[in-house]
Structure 1
Amino acid sequence: MPKVDRRIAKSQEAIKKAVLELMSEKNFDDITIQDISDRANVSRGTIYLHYLDKYDLLDKLIAEHINEMRVICESTSELEFIDANLPWFEYLESNHLFFSTMLASKGAPSFRSQFREFLVDEFKDEIDITKGKNNGLNKDIILQFIVTSYVGIVEWWITNGMPYPPQIMAEQVGILLERNL
């Protein structure tokens, strides 16, 4: 892994944090590169050094989080749903600003669709319609039910200020997944 200059990493983190803070205050379409630059305390040139424009910045930020979630899934793929969910909810909690902004913002519908696509990829192989409680049901319908439920529970948890700790969420969502898959 190439070594990244700490100043570059610090600037990129400030830029990402700035865009998220601004998105929590106003519509993404109304945010300018100058707004981001002012909030992050970096020059506009620094932003353009790393990103083509604000859309590229948002796309890269979303891709970064989707990739992190994919890594979590890969590292927990052999675990039962309850145990596999805990790192997820801990990640969601530790990145609250990102997820609360993406789920609440009208400017980030691409996040919701990418999140759904990611979950479809993760859950599609978990569904068995050849035996048990899902025997004879349509796999696409079950998949959409599970994905929509998962997105909904994550959105509810984040937008309501995470009223239950990650451990409780992991346990209860894990039990619900086991009942339905």
Structure 2
Amino acid sequence: MKIEKIDRRVKYTNLLLKESIIELLKTKHISKVSVKMLCNTADINRSTFYAHYADQYDLLEKLEQEVMTNLKEYINHVKNEPSQVLNQVLEYAAKDAELFKVLLSENCGSAFQRDFMSLSQQKIISKVKDDHSIDVRTSEYLQCFILSGALEIFKKWLHDGMVESPEQMAELISKLLFQGTSFFYKKRNKETK
């Protein structure tokens, strides 16, 4: 019984600290967030903070790792079909949009964004990598272009309040990734004729 109580307290403390760092990172860079600010926001003692984390960077790193682990588990059961993976990623992010907005912002540095791009490359961009008609160097440039564009669309969607559904965004991004912008221009030209 005592262990369960401690576990609940630890979980609650971790939850408070994660919520606090997310709140602070909405307006401050991680280098400007202090342990004192985190403790004041979470309404906990510094000794409690240090029982769990070394500093604000350690807290952020553990939060990022937790989100990535959960995201990988969430999309793990999906076939490597890009539109399905995209849809799952977008659905997952939509459930906690504020967290993703913060983690993908400049206030957090680039570690989460780099890990997110790496996961996307593994799960979504495999078609470009597997296309042997494209030389390796060109394939690397294409992957960079595709990932950067998809990430910026994803961030804009989050910041605009997710007006479109995850399914609509997955379809849009998939069309852009594999058919390019010409798909939309051809479609518009057909409609105007």
**TM-score, length of structure 2 as denominator length:** 0.78
In the TM superposition, residue 21 of structure 1 has moved relative to its aligned partner by: 0.1
Q: Structure 1 unaligned runs (5+)?
A: none
How far does the alpha carbon of each residue in 1:70-124 deviate from its partner, in whole angstroms, 9 at most, with x for none?
Answer: 223321125x333332221111111212111123333422222222233233345
Moved over 6 A (4+): none
Match of 2:147 in 1: 147
User: Does the aligned pair in 2 maintain the 1:33–1:44 contact within 8 Å?
Assistant: yes
Identity %: 24
Number of corresponding residues: 173
Select the structure of larger CA radius of gyration.
2
SS of equivalent residue, structure 1 residue 106:
helix
- Distance in 2 (CA, whole Å) between partners of 1:161 and 1:30 is 27
Given candidates 11, 14, 18, the residue that maps to 1:12 is 14
In the TM superposition, residue 177 of structure 1 has moved relative to its aligned partner by: 3.9
User: Does the aligned pair in 1 maintain the 2:75–2:85 contact within 8 Å?
Assistant: yes
- Distance in 1 (CA, whole Å) between partners of 2:97 and 2:119 is 19
Match of 2:157 in 1: 157
Q: Structure 2 unaligned runs (5+)?
A: 181-193
Structure 1 residues 111-150: aligned runs within 5 Å: 111-123=112-124, 125-127=126-128, 128-130=130-132, 135-137=133-135, 138-150=138-150
Q: CA RMSD in A?
A: 2.2
- Distance in 2 (CA, whole Å) between partners of 1:84 and 1:121 is 11
- Distance in 1 (CA, whole Å) between partners of 2:28 and 2:144 is 31
How far does the alpha carbon of each residue in 1:9-64 deviate from its partner, in whole angstroms, 9 at most, with x for none?
Answer: 11111100100101112222221111111111222122211111111111111111
Structure 1 residues 1-181: aligned runs within 5 Å: 5-78=7-80, 80-123=81-124, 125-127=126-128, 128-130=130-132, 135-137=133-135, 138-179=138-179
Q: Which has the higher contact order (CA 8 A, sep 6+)?
A: 1
- Distance in 2 (CA, whole Å) between partners of 1:105 and 1:84 is 25
